[in-house]
Amino acid sequence: QFQRNYRRANASNERLNEVANGSEDTPNTAVNPVHQDIMMSNFKMNKEYDVCVVGAGFSGSVIAERFANELGKTVLVIDKRNHIGGNCYDYIDEETNIRVNKYGAHLFHTNHERVWNYIQKFSKWTPYEHRVLGYVNKTHVPVPVNIDTVNLLFHSNIQSTEEMDKWLKKEQVHYDHEPVNSEEMAMSRVGKRLYELIFKGYTLKQWNKDPSELGPEVTARIPVRNDWDD
């Protein structure tokens, strides 16, 4: 792993030399001129660094910051892209003034107060509630599954968590063994109808594999709610 990272770092260093020297031999990897000055501004060609971090995504950015601010190390961060943040990078669209996630929307989850306090140091956060509607059988329904999902899809009239629990128990497929794949896990939790309508297609889209080919932990992590929480 060290050797692979070293080779990546060395290749990236050669690319930075090309940028610095104005080489045009590699047009397919040319750096966006908008970001070129930013990338090169703190990079000194002949300086020695205590640490080289390859990759400026979440892991690389945090490791570099900790080395610099906690241990007082000089750090060189290298990334093949012309920005930091990895797949979570976003920017303000000049035409609409709307913040856009370049690689698709990402949600940040943590149950750890230490992590939450750490990320608060670097940005102002905006209160946000994430609600998802899936388009199923020509109807918009809440996802993850909750009471409203069932009522809308099956024209039911469930009015309490107790009624929802009874409905789920009746629908669930009960095996004589522990679920061995994602299909069995989903059907043991929500039954065949909801599996076919929501879980199967969602899993195929996410993983490009049939749920029967995936381990049970994949669909075990998808919430199923017995109330109206959306």
Q: What phi and psi values does residue 140 have, to the nearest 5 degrees?
A: -85, 120
Task: Determine the pLDDT at residue 32.
Answer: 41
DSSP secondary structure code for residue 31 in this structure? P
- State the residue for tokens 């570099």: 64
Residue 215, CB-side half-sphere exposure with 13 Å CA sphere: 3
Task: Determine the pLDDT at residue 20.
Answer: 43
C-alpha radius of gyration, the chain, whole number: 24
Quick check: 64 and 77 in contact, CB under 8 A? Answer: yes
Q: What is the pLDDT of residues 123-161, one digit of tens each?
A: 888 777 888 899 999 999 999 999 999 999 999 999 999
Task: Determine the pLDDT at residue 44.
Answer: 66
Distances from the Cα of 229 to the Cα of 127, 140, 143, 144, 149, angstroms: 18, 16, 10, 9, 11
Quick check: 227 and 219 in contact, CB under 8 A? Answer: no
Quick check: 221 and 185 in contact, CB under 8 A? Answer: no
Task: Determine the pLDDT at residue 10.
Answer: 47
Query: How far from the centroid of its chain's Cα atoms is residue 211's Cα?
Result: 20
3-state secondary structure of 133: strand
Task: Determine the pLDDT at residue 40.
Answer: 52
Task: Determine the pLDDT at residue 45.
Answer: 67
Alpha carbons 189 and 184: distance in angstroms, whole number = 9
- State the residue for tokens 């509630």: 129
Task: Determine the pLDDT at residue 104.
Answer: 84
Q: Which tokens hold the place of 106?
A: 């990402």
**Residue 136 parent element (H or E):** strand 133-136
Contacts of 156 by beta carbon, 8 Å cutoff, 6+ apart? 150, 167
Contacts of 58 by beta carbon, 8 Å cutoff, 6+ apart? 85, 86, 88
Spell out, as residue ranges, where the chain has pLDDT lower than 50: 1-13, 16-38
